[in-house]
Amino acid sequence: MAIPGSASSRARLVVLVSGTGTLLQALIDHPPVNTEIVAVGADRYGIEGLVRAEAEAIPVFVTPLEDFPDRGAWDRALRDAIAEYRPDLIISAGFMKILGAEVLKDFTVLNTHPALLPAFPGAHAVRDALAAGVSVTGCTVHLVDEGVDTGPVLAQREVAILPEDDESSLHERIKQQERELLVEVVGRVCAEGIPQERVSSS
C-alpha cells in the first residue's frame, strides 16, 4: 500500500484527537519528512488538542457523535468531513471513538495504543497491565480495522513496569515512547508505504 511522501509529493495527514493532543503535538514539533498536517478533527469541542492545532493555523473540524441519530450517520459525516481535506493518511492520536466501516473503507488509519497488543486492548490498557501484574508493557502503532485494537501491528516499544509505578506514572512513561514511535512510524509509512503482508494479515 503506497502512501505519497516522496520529495515531489508531501503526504497529507489528518489527525483525529479527543483530548489534550500531546501525540498531535509530537507530530507538530517533529514532523516526519515530506508530510503535512492538513487538518485536525475531533469528536468534541473545547479540547486542548484543537487549541494546539489552531495555534499552528491548522484547519480544524468537529463531528460530535451526539449530533447524529446513530453511529452510522456519524461515521458517514466524519468520513465526509475528513474527505474535504483529501488526506493520504489518517492518524488516530488519542481519538476515543471507534471508527466505522464508512471511514475505514475510504482511508488508511493508524492508531497508537498504550500496551503491547494484542495484550490489553481497550480504553484502560495501563490500568489493566498494572492489575495483571506483568513486568513489561509498552506501546503499539497499528492499522485500524473494525475491531477494538485488533488491526495489524506496525511497530512496538517496551516499557518496564517499576515497583513504585501507579497508573499515572506508568502512563506518562509510555506516552513518552508512544510519541517518538508515532513520529517514526508515520515517517516510515509515508516514505515506504505499508508492507502488503501487514494489510493482508488483518
| pLDDT tens per residue across span 64-112 | 999 999 999 999 999 999 999 999 999 999 999 999 999 999 999 999 9
pTM above 0.95, yes or no: no
Q: Is residue 2 part of a domain?
A: no
Q: Is residue 3 part of a domain?
A: no
- Cβ-based neighbours of 14, under 8 Å, separated by 6 or more: 37, 38, 39, 40, 41, 82, 85, 87, 89, 90, 91
For residue 157, what is the domain's CATH number? 3.40.50.170
Q: Is residue 99 part of a domain?
A: yes
- Number of structural domains, the chain? 1
Q: Is residue 56 part of a domain?
A: yes
Average pLDDT, the chain: 92
Q: Is residue 107 part of a domain?
A: yes
To the query of whether residue 113 is one of the catalytic residues in this protein, the response is: yes
Q: Is residue 110 part of a domain?
A: yes
- Domain containing residue 146: 11-197
The region, left, alpha or beta by phi > 0 then psi within -120 to 50, assigned to residue 34 is left
Q: Is residue 6 part of a domain?
A: no
Q: Is residue 1 part of a domain?
A: no
Q: At 178, is the pLDDT very low, low, confident or very high (cuts 50, 70, 90)?
A: very high
Q: Point out the catalytic residue in the list 30, 113, 124, 142.
A: 113
**Over residues 18-22, mean pLDDT:** 95
132/135 Cα distance (integer angstroms): 9
